[in-house]
């Protein structure tokens, strides 16, 4: 093979695209039901935006961004996440002027130069929402409910919300100092990265995968135990609202989301059946990010969910039917090139009502009907020399085997009659 896709990228092939489209449809439906408008910022932005919004010393910005210089010498980066671009867009377009809550949703590719592993890609896709203009806990609960509703609509029944708080500007600085002190005392037991984090960004140590660090940190102080009264009340209110909606949750005292901009609520939604890599989506509150990026002071909260992993789970659990049912469609078989104008005319008329695929290959009828069966369509329409002369067509019901030759102007009527009289039995997914 001469060319291969770049390492860590993925092809969306025809066998998987129907499921992809269904998932996208689920997302569109649910965000619409919750009153979120779709937005689509560009996939690259000024590198400086991500450094500012996501945090210069996060792994995402310092190690994983695809950055390049354009022909005018500007440094641009492929977006590693969705929030920074949405926040930039909101400020630039003055979307916050209207008062009330600004509710936005997005779906698209993200890019991180990460070590590729199962279910993780360098070009991956996320959907997410951002809700701006309100600081109260009810909005946090709404977002968690929205994420859970989307996953449930995708067919995933068993879900668990992990909930934490990273504090705010009132209580976090004192906690970070306390943590730094504790880390200094255990310096010899930490990995080199965590020893560095102790200085630059102590909260990051809870992300470490090293077992030595994990052990050492067991008795380190936790943010959850050092929240100020306001942050504690906020968290408890979110929990009460989730309990009201019968959404199962638990407090996770180790949760540190990978990005720096969070304040107060952070959360992840898990499928407990998945084991270690069970997080399907997560997010949190970011009350200072809009201001830090040059906008007016605006509390906000958001989440994102990885589409590739979700697709894998949905596939594995057979949650959405793996194939779009095209059992009401038709496959038009040409027995001679002379039938091409007739086929075009018939297809144009039928497509107003049903999907039609035309076979121009000139293969044998047997071979063409085999393809029709693989496509999972209900009808084959055969056009040979006799049909051309008579302006007729032979319609074959691939479910029942019944076949009839009739004037081409009557085709649609008969197809609709057959569809109405005999609802197609559930068919197996086409074996492509």
- Residues contributing to the site for Zn ion (CB under 5 A): 167-168, 170-171, 191, 194, 208, 210, 213, 228, 231
Q: How far apart are CA 295 and CA 61, in angstroms?
A: 22
Residue 212 CB, shortest distance to Zn ion, in Å, is 7
CB 9 within 8 A of CB 121: yes
Cβ density class 155-192: b for 16+ within 10 Å, e for less: bbeebbbbbbbbbbeebbeebbebbeebbeebeeebbe
Q: Count Cβ atoms below 10 Å from residue 431 Cβ, excluding itself.
A: 9
Q: Smaller CB distance to Zn ion: residue 175 or 418?
A: 175
Q: Smaller CB distance to Zn ion: residue 42 or 212?
A: 212
Q: Smaller CB distance to Zn ion: residue 239 or 271?
A: 239
Residue 112 CB, shortest distance to Zn ion, in Å, is 21
Residue 30 CB, shortest distance to Zn ion, in Å, is 32
Q: Smaller CB distance to Zn ion: residue 77 or 263?
A: 263
Residue 226 CB, shortest distance to Zn ion, in Å, is 9
Residue 234 CB, shortest distance to Zn ion, in Å, is 8
Q: Smaller CB distance to Zn ion: residue 188 or 244?
A: 188
Q: How far apart are CA 78 and CA 67, in angstroms?
A: 7
Q: Record the tokens describing residue 235, joined without a space.
A: 């968290």
Reduced to 3 states (helix: H, G, I; strand: E, B; else coil), residue 67 is strand
Burial class (CB in 10 A: 0-12, 13-18, 19+), 272: exposed
Q: Smaller CB distance to Zn ion: residue 234 or 309?
A: 234
Q: Record the tokens describing residue 386, joined without a space.
A: 């006799």
SS3 content of the chain, % helix, strand, coil (to 5): 45, 20, 35
Quick one: CA dihedral 143, 145, 150, 151, positive or negative? positive
Place of tokens 């940190």: 217
Question: To which H or E segment does residue 300 belong?
Answer: strand 300-306
Residue 181 CB, shortest distance to Zn ion, in Å, is 17
Q: How far apart are CA 278 and CA 273, in angstroms?
A: 7
Residue 252 CB, shortest distance to Zn ion, in Å, is 18
Q: How far apart are CA 341 and CA 193, in angstroms?
A: 69
Q: For the CA atoms of 29, 33, 35, 37, what is the dihedral angle to 10 degrees?
A: 10
CB 288 within 8 A of CB 261: yes
Q: Smaller CB distance to Zn ion: residue 81 or 287?
A: 287
Q: Smaller CB distance to Zn ion: residue 191 or 365?
A: 191
Q: Count Cβ atoms below 10 Å from residue 109 Cβ, excluding itself.
A: 15
Residue 198 CB, shortest distance to Zn ion, in Å, is 10
Residue 202 CB, shortest distance to Zn ion, in Å, is 12
Q: Could you report how far apart the first and last alpha carbons of the chain are, in Å?
A: 22
Residue 378 CB, shortest distance to Zn ion, in Å, is 59
Q: Smaller CB distance to Zn ion: residue 176 or 208?
A: 208
Q: Smaller CB distance to Zn ion: residue 210 or 399?
A: 210
Q: How far apart are CA 118 and CA 108, in angstroms?
A: 20
Residue 15 CB, shortest distance to Zn ion, in Å, is 41
Residue 334 φ then ψ, to 5°: -95, 125
Tell me how far the alpha carbon of residue 221 is from its chain's centroid: 34
Cβ density class 29-63: b for 16+ within 10 Å, e for less: ebbeebebeebebeebbebebbbbbbbeebbbbee
Q: Smaller CB distance to Zn ion: residue 151 or 289?
A: 289
């Amino acid at each position: 093979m001469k060319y291969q896709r770049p390492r860590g990228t993925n092809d969306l092939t025809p066998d998987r695209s129907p499921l992809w489209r269904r998932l996208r449809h689920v997302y569109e439906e649910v965000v619409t039901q919750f009153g979120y408008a779709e937005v689509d910022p560009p996939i690259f932005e000024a590198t400086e935006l991500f450094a500012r919004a996501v945090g210069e010393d996060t792994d995402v910005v310092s190690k994983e961004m695809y950055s390049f210089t354009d022909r005018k010498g500007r440094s641009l980066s492929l977006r590693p996440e969705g929030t920074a671009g949405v926040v930039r867009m909101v400020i630039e377009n003055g979307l916050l002027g209207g008062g009330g809550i600004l509710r936005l949703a997005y779906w698209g590719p993200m890019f991180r130069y990460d070590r590729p592993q199962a279910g993780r890609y360098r070009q991956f896709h996320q959907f997410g929402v951002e809700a701006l203009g309100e600081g109260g806990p009810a909005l946090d609960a709404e977002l968690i409910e929205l994420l859970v509703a989307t996953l449930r609509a995708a067919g995933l029944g068993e879900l668990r919300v992990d909930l934490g708080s990273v504090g705010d500007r009132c209580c976090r600085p004192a906690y970070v100092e306390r943590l730094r002190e504790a880390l200094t005392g255990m310096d010899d037991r930490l990995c080199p990265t965590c020893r560095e984090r102790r200085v630059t960004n102590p909260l990051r140590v809870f992300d470490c995968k090293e077992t030595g660090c994990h052990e050492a940190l067991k008795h380190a102080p936790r943010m959850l135990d050092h929240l100020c009264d306001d942050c504690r009340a906020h968290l408890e209110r979110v929990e009460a609202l989730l309990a009201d909606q019968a959404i199962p949750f638990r407090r996770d005292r180790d949760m540190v989301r990978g990005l720096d901009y969070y304040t107060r609520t952070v959360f992840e939604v898990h499928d407990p059946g998945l084991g270690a890599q069970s997080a399907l989506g997560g997010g949190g509150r970011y009350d200072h990010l809009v201001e830090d990026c040059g906008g007016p002071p605006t509390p906000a909260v958001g989440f994102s969910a990885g589409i590739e992993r979700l697709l894998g789970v949905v596939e594995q659990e057979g949650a959405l039917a793996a194939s779009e049912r095209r059992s009401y469609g038709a496959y038009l078989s040409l027995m001679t090139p002379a039938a091409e104008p007739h086929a075009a005319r018939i297809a144009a008329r039928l497509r107003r009502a049903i999907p039609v695929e035309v076979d121009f290959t000139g293969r044998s009828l047997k071979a063409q009907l085999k393809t029709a069966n693989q496509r999972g369509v209900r009808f084959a329409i055969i056009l040979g020399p006799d049909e051309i002369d008579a302006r007729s067509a032979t319609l074959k019901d691939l479910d029942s085997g019944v076949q009839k030759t009739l004037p081409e102007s009557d085709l649609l009527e008969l197809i609709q009659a057959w569809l109405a009289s005999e609802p197609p039995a559930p068919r197996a997914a086409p074996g492509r």
